[in-house]
């Protein structure tokens, strides 16, 4: 599948930002390792999701493009599909929970997408709503993670990191549905086989970690975590076996550790990072992952409401 990641990189050329890799001497001294952050908070729409959405939507047939696409997302994938739709002249409909962060809802609407809201506590889930609309209007579904083209697109972030930094002893990536993690792991094993790949989740949303440990797909329902980008109910039918095959370990972090990481990014590195994007740093600061050698960390995004950021910084 690494060849698909390479093909995705070619498609993204000229459209996606080649995001910077940043480090902090203060952090390196504090944890006793060399940490390299791949800053996808500087990607278009403020998150890595643009990569997968563009890779998938750019390969649709003319007929599929003319009928439009549908997606479900709490925010970053929604924004990505909406923006790619605008760039490629494809109508986009997004199923979003009513409690999605306001900054993400506003941006999705501003890119021109039609938003269909739903109550995440109601029995009918987002997948069912999207499926009904897809059947009615002939839309093509652009899933948030469980699709080969999405996974390949997300893997390009890790490809750029390895191309710029070279060898890493470990690579840390957030895990929700597993698209970014599995794409990153495939890339790591192709470009730097000795690199350990570790997925990071909130303790409150530990379905992927439990799935990894038990080798059986586990689920979680509406987890109470500040990291809204990883509230996905479970890994997917495609991403679950990829995580089992390519990922070396999974670890979880507390809500306090996540907030501490967001705070560190803001005050020490002058970076605005959403809670989901801060999971890797949270694991290092809390010692959920023991820092050693050269460690790459993917910051998945920076879309956070001002109110939420203020609450974290004041906590």
Average pLDDT of the chain to the nearest whole number: 95
* pLDDT score recorded for residue 20: 98
Q: Structure pTM?
A: 0.94
Query: CA 92, 97, 100: angle at the middle one, nearest 5?
Result: 95
* pLDDT score recorded for residue 127: 84
Residue 135 CA to residue 86 CA, distance in Å, equals 23
Catalytic positions, please?
Answer: 49, 300
What pLDDT digit, counting tens, does each position of 12-41 carry?
Answer: 999 999 999 999 999 999 999 999 999 999
* pLDDT score recorded for residue 242: 98
* pLDDT score recorded for residue 100: 81
* pLDDT score recorded for residue 123: 65
Across the beta sheet with 114-118, what order do the strands follow?
Answer: 114-118, 92-97, 69-72, 140-141
Q: What domains sit in the chain, N to C, each tagged with a CATH number?
A: 2-47+147-314 (3.40.50.1100), 50-141 (3.40.50.1100)
Beta strand residue intervals within the chain, DSSP E: 21-22, 34-39, 69-72, 92-97, 114-118, 140-141, 170-174, 196-202, 249-253, 294-299
What pLDDT digit, counting tens, does each position of 151-165 carry?
Answer: 999 999 999 999 999
Share of the chain above pLDDT 70, in %: 100
Q: Which residues contact 146 (CB under 8 A, 6 or more apart)?
A: 177, 178, 179, 236, 237, 238, 239
* pLDDT score recorded for residue 119: 83
């Amino acid at each position: 599948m690494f060849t698909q990641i390479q093909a995705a990189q070619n498609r993204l050329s000229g459209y996606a930002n080649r995001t910077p890799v940043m480090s902090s001497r203060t952090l390196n001294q504090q944890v006793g390792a060399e940490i390299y952050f791949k800053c996808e908070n500087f990607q278009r729409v403020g998150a890595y999701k643009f990569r997968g959405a563009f890779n998938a939507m750019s390969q649709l047939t003319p007929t599929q493009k003319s009928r439009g696409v549908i997606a479900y997302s709490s925010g970053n994938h929604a924004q990505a599909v909406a923006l790619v739709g605008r760039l490629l002249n494809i109508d986009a409909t997004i199923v979003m929970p009513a409690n999605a962060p306001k900054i993400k809802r506003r941006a999705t609407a501003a890119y021109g997408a039609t938003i269909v809201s739903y109550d995440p506590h109601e029995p009918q889930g987002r997948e069912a709503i999207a499926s009904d609309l897809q059947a009615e209007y002939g839309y093509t579904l652009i899933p948030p993670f469980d699709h080969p083209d999405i996974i390949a697109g997300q893997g390009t972030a890790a490809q750029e990191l390895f191309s710029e930094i070279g060898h890493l002893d470990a690579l840390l990536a957030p895990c929700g549905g597993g698209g970014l993690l599995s794409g990153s792991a495939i890339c790591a094993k192709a470009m730097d086989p000795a690199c350990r790949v570790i997925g990071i989740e909130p303790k409150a949303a530990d379905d992927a970690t439990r799935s990894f440990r038990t080798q059986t797909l586990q689920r979680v329902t509406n987890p109470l975590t500040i990291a809204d980008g990883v509230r996905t109910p479970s890994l997917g039918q495609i991403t679950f076996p990829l995580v089992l095959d390519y990922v070396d370990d999974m670890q979880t972090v507390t809500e306090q550790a996540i907030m501490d990481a967001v705070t560190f990014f803001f005050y020490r590195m002058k970076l605005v990072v959403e809670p989901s994007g801060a999971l890797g740093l949270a694991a290092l600061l809390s010692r959920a992952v023991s820092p050693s050698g050269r460690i790459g960390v993917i910051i998945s995004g920076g879309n956070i409401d001002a109110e939420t950021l203020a609450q974290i910084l004041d906590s």
